[in-house]
Structure 1
Amino acid sequence: MKKSHVKRYQDRRVPFTYALVDLCTPAILLLLSFGLFSQGAWSHEYNWMMLLSGVFYATCIGVQGGYSRYNNRSFSDRLAITFKTWFFNVFFLLVLLFIYLSELDFDRIVTAIWVVFTPFFIMAIKLAIQHYSRRYAQTKIQVAVLGRHYEFNEFEYAMLEQQGVELTYFSLKDQGDIETNIMKVSPDYLLLNLEAPATNQLIKELTHLDLKGVRLIVLHRFMETFLRKCYIPYDGEDLSYLEKVRPYTLRNFILKRAIDWLAIIGIGVLCSPLMLYAVLKIKLQSPGSTLFTQSRVGLGGKNFTAIKFRSMHENAHFNPYTQKEDPRIFPFGHVMRKFRIDELPQLWNVLRKDMHLVGPRTEWDILVENYEKEIPYYHERHLVRPGISGWAQVCYPYGANLEDARQKLMYDLYYIKHWSIWLEMETLLRTVVVVLGRKGL
């Protein structure tokens, strides 16, 4: 039996702290908004809003399991629950006040500021609590692994460490009763990675464990829940769990194009001086064309011409992968790559519908040809348009070999399978964090 140690996650006090945040933050922010932005007198409507908003909101979050000690919701799921619940809460509160009060007298500007900014503050406070609780908490999520020994890589271990997951490995060949051995570690989850169909005796023991409160989970589900990637084994034949990896629905496509247009207008206007500066620096440091074009594979496996600022000297020796401290990159090229400035011309590709703002990374057609031969399901990433930024890019470092391409594919497939406006927002937030050189959310 092998045991891997990771940091502890949250203790029992964290959900209670979350409840206090949900209960008190709306009232505190209403007071602050009124004090900073109102020029009128305090009205009794504000008293009711202070009293009821936090109570209603905390109750709704609690009903949805928001204060469970074993809440493994992703950041995007928590983002969705926070905003949806808050705006439903505000709507319900205003309707209630309209029904029971003869007239409503409150400052619309103060109320609008309060309504818009409260969910952001709630999320920020909870993230701060989560960050510090991971340092000092005294409990772990215990996961017993039964079957083949899966070797998690360093990035997978880092993500499990962030969530306070402790893994304990068991083999079907271990001496003694499997159920008894597993219950010695009192696991929260039993991760099944079996090589062959379970025997009747094993099914019986797994059933007993399930009845004792141990949650059974298979490897691909564990990957999606804790690591937020779709598992692609080297020798896997049954990949039926990837059936839900499909193109965007019409509604989701419209939402993504709306985000694309906002990005084209907003980033284009804000970054136009930066792009002009980049053009001048490239001309000064490396004579030749300012832009770099390359054939990339897009939607449906069709090629298109991607446009970027050139970050390498022209006529540099051929190598499909960029290395650390690559001599082909001129000084300002390193700066552009670090802060993703070289990607800005791809807004033109977004405008032309070759790309989205967020999606799987665009890959060189020469590399794609090899990847599709070597990596199962690689072609599935072409079900959607590629993006300037993407889930794989913010979750995994720059790839330099076939294994990196396989790892990134897992994140790409997760993004496609689980796409929502909230996952899009999380990806964009993580992109900002990565560009600023900080750790992920």
Structure 2
Amino acid sequence: MTEKDIPRYQSIRVLLAYRLVDLCVPFFILAIVHFLLSSQTWHEPYTWLGGMAGLLFMVFTQLLGGYSRFVERSVAKKIEIVFKTWAFNVLLLMFIAYLNLAVLGLARSVILVWVVLTPFIILFTKVLINYKSRSTQQGRTEVLVLGDGYHFNEFELAQLKRHNIRLHPIDEYDEDVLHEKVEALSPDFLVINLDKSAEHKLVKQLTHLDLKGVQLLALHHFMENFLRKCYIPYESSELSYLERIRSYDRINFLVKRVLDVSAALSLGLITLPIMLYAALKIRRESPGPIIFSQARVARSGKELVIYKFRSMHVDAEKNGAQFAQEDDPRAYEFGAFMRKTRIDELPQLWNVLKGDLHFVGPRPERKVFTEKLEEDIPYYNERHLVSPGITGWAQVLYPYGANTEDARQKLMYDLYYIKHWSIWLEIETLIRTVLVVLGRKGL
């Protein structure tokens, strides 16, 4: 089974609701904007424009696979489909309206606000429907897990529970137990999680189950599609894994660089008063340098110097280098506040403008840590295929890490980000970063 063959939607009701939203929302938003902003009476061209917009939105979404049971349920995918569809929609409507001269009688302010507002309303509505549908019985995904090669941790189980995915483990293979579980549960997926090669008897039974319509899924496929992380075993000789992780191509790097500079300049201007206040607060509360600089490992294993507001006491590492913790006792009061709100990261905007860092990417680590982690975790060096970032996929999805296992878990998210990078995943990461800073758990 390939990733495109994995059904993410168990109920078609959600997809029907998406169609209804796409058909009706453009017309209703146009009507509301016209009512609020225009003193003119409602003209026939408005009816034509709103109706055509909804109809075309459905058509383009269908062409992009937005109503398929196999389309990803991620926010990134929804952003991609909604904004691509709306862009095609607006261009086509402008062309048709120009040919019919229908646009001449419409208020420009109404059309402009409608064009900007509509995709965001549709996206928010779909995310809300997706969230609500997963809490229903019809939206539940039953997963039978065969074997105990990988032990799902509490964080992963909680994440699966939030998405209404229930795991039913079978630790040791038993032909009768497997048969009974399949008959009783009628699972949506059977995940192969073995810690050794399958015997002929098991292969035969799995083949029969596959022929009967049971969806067999390898562990690494399950984790990428439902936990959005790349599985990393502690012991592995599967060197083909390295082929699947690649750095950005030239076009993607250029797009990412434009996003970096735009985000760094915009955020720098917006947060300039906050940075000035932070500098004064640090000076008063913790004597010592305001800016903390440190060498971190960057792309290709090279080192660079990053800059942060100092959030810890000057003698924080008198006992040696340590992993950062969520409530780190080495931080003073305002320093702890800066760490929770990510204010301490703001000076790194200078690193982004210089090209040392991306705005989004794997977290830059110290060489003393990376050398140890490279010995303990397979493929750890793969995160250095790209430049690190101020925020990242691992940082917004996984809590603070304080040991090797946490570093392994974060690496799984970093590799997923590198492997699946797109501008849409970038935008989702930025949205999640804002929610984390505001104290929310995410989407």
Instruction: Give the structure-1-normalised TM-score.
Output: 0.91
In structure 2, what is the equivalent of residue 33 of structure 1?
A: 33
- The alignment partner of 2:262 has SS state of helix
Residue type at the aligned position of 1:300? S
- The alignment partner of 1:344 has SS state of helix
Shift of 1:173: 3.2
Partners of 1:46 and 1:350 in 2: CA distance: 45
Partners of 1:10 and 1:200 in 2: CA distance: 32
**How many residues matched?**
432
1:367 aligns with 2:369: yes
Shift of 1:103: 4.8
1:292 aligns with 2:292: yes
- The alignment partner of 1:81 has SS state of helix
Residue type at the aligned position of 2:338? M
In structure 2, what is the equivalent of residue 5 of structure 1?
A: none
Partners of 1:86 and 1:360 in 2: CA distance: 32
Checking the alignment, whether the CA contact within 8 Å between 1:392 and 1:409 is kept in structure 2 is yes
Distance 1:108 1:244, change over 3 A: farther
The residue correspondences of 1:95-174 to structure 2 (distance < 5 A) are 95-99=95-99, 101=100, 103-105=102-104, 106-170=106-170, 173-174=173-174
Distance 1:284 1:114, change over 3 A: same
Moved more, 392-401 or 191-200: 191-200
Shift of 1:244: 2.4
Residue type at the aligned position of 2:44? H
Residue type at the aligned position of 1:28? F
1:340 is aligned, of 314, 317, 342, to: 342
In structure 1, what is the equivalent of residue 73 of structure 2?
A: 73
Checking the alignment, whether the CA contact within 8 Å between 1:297 and 1:303 is kept in structure 2 is yes
In structure 1, what is the equivalent of residue 3 of structure 2?
A: none
Partners of 2:418 and 2:197 in 1: CA distance: 30
Distance 1:89 1:337, change over 3 A: same
The superposition leaves residues 251-290 of structure 1 with CA deviations (integer Å, 9 ceiling, x where unpaired) of 1111111111112211111111111100100000111111
In structure 2, what is the equivalent of residue 251 of structure 1?
A: 251
1:191 aligns with 2:197: no
The superposition leaves residues 367-413 of structure 1 with CA deviations (integer Å, 9 ceiling, x where unpaired) of 11111111111111111110000000001001111111111011000
Distance 1:411 1:325, change over 3 A: closer
- The alignment partner of 2:244 has SS state of coil
Moved more, 272-281 or 12-21: 12-21
Moved more, 204-213 or 380-389: 204-213
Higher relative contact order (CA 8 A, sep 6+): 1
In structure 1, what is the equivalent of residue 417 of structure 2?
A: 415
1:356 aligns with 2:358: yes
Instruction: Give the structure-2-normalised TM-score.
Output: 0.91
Partners of 1:427 and 1:333 in 2: CA distance: 24
Checking the alignment, whether the CA contact within 8 Å between 2:27 and 2:47 is kept in structure 1 is no
- The alignment partner of 1:167 has SS state of strand
Distance 1:139 1:31, change over 3 A: closer
Partners of 2:307 and 2:181 in 1: CA distance: 58
Partners of 1:420 and 1:72 in 2: CA distance: 14
In structure 2, what is the equivalent of residue 3 of structure 1?
A: none
Shift of 1:189: 1.4
Partners of 1:383 and 1:366 in 2: CA distance: 19
Partners of 2:89 and 2:69 in 1: CA distance: 24
In structure 2, what is the equivalent of residue 439 of structure 1?
A: 441
The superposition leaves residues 151-175 of structure 1 with CA deviations (integer Å, 9 ceiling, x where unpaired) of 1111111221122111222366314
Residue type at the aligned position of 1:108? R
Partners of 2:274 and 2:28 in 1: CA distance: 39
- The alignment partner of 1:237 has SS state of coil
Moved more, 331-340 or 59-68: 59-68
CA RMSD of aligned residues (A): 2.3
Residue type at the aligned position of 2:118? T
Moved more, 416-425 or 317-326: 317-326
1:301 aligns with 2:335: no
Moved more, 313-322 or 201-210: 201-210
- The alignment partner of 2:176 has SS state of coil
In structure 2, what is the equivalent of residue 182 of structure 1?
A: 182
In structure 2, what is the equivalent of residue 45 of structure 1?
A: 45
Checking the alignment, whether the CA contact within 8 Å between 1:170 and 1:182 is kept in structure 2 is no
Shift of 1:18: 2.4
- The alignment partner of 1:176 has SS state of helix
Distance 1:181 1:285, change over 3 A: closer
Checking the alignment, whether the CA contact within 8 Å between 1:178 and 1:205 is kept in structure 2 is no
Partners of 1:50 and 1:168 in 2: CA distance: 48
Moved more, 193-202 or 346-355: 193-202
Partners of 1:305 and 1:346 in 2: CA distance: 10
Distance 1:311 1:271, change over 3 A: same
Moved more, 368-377 or 121-130: 121-130
Partners of 1:244 and 1:296 in 2: CA distance: 26
Shift of 1:149: 4.8
Checking the alignment, whether the CA contact within 8 Å between 1:360 and 1:389 is kept in structure 2 is yes
Residue type at the aligned position of 1:104? V
Distance 1:285 1:217, change over 3 A: same
Residue type at the aligned position of 1:381? R
Distance 1:141 1:71, change over 3 A: farther
Residue type at the aligned position of 1:52? M
Moved more, 157-166 or 233-242: 233-242
The superposition leaves residues 400-440 of structure 1 with CA deviations (integer Å, 9 ceiling, x where unpaired) of 11111111011000000000000000000000000111111
The alignment-based identity, stated in percent, is 51
- The alignment partner of 1:110 has SS state of helix
In structure 2, what is the equivalent of residue 240 of structure 1?
A: 240
Residue type at the aligned position of 1:344? L
The superposition leaves residues 30-70 of structure 1 with CA deviations (integer Å, 9 ceiling, x where unpaired) of 11222223354533221111212112212433454434566
Checking the alignment, whether the CA contact within 8 Å between 1:359 and 1:387 is kept in structure 2 is yes
Checking the alignment, whether the CA contact within 8 Å between 1:190 and 1:216 is kept in structure 2 is yes
Unaligned runs of 5+ in 1: 1-8
Distance 1:87 1:207, change over 3 A: farther
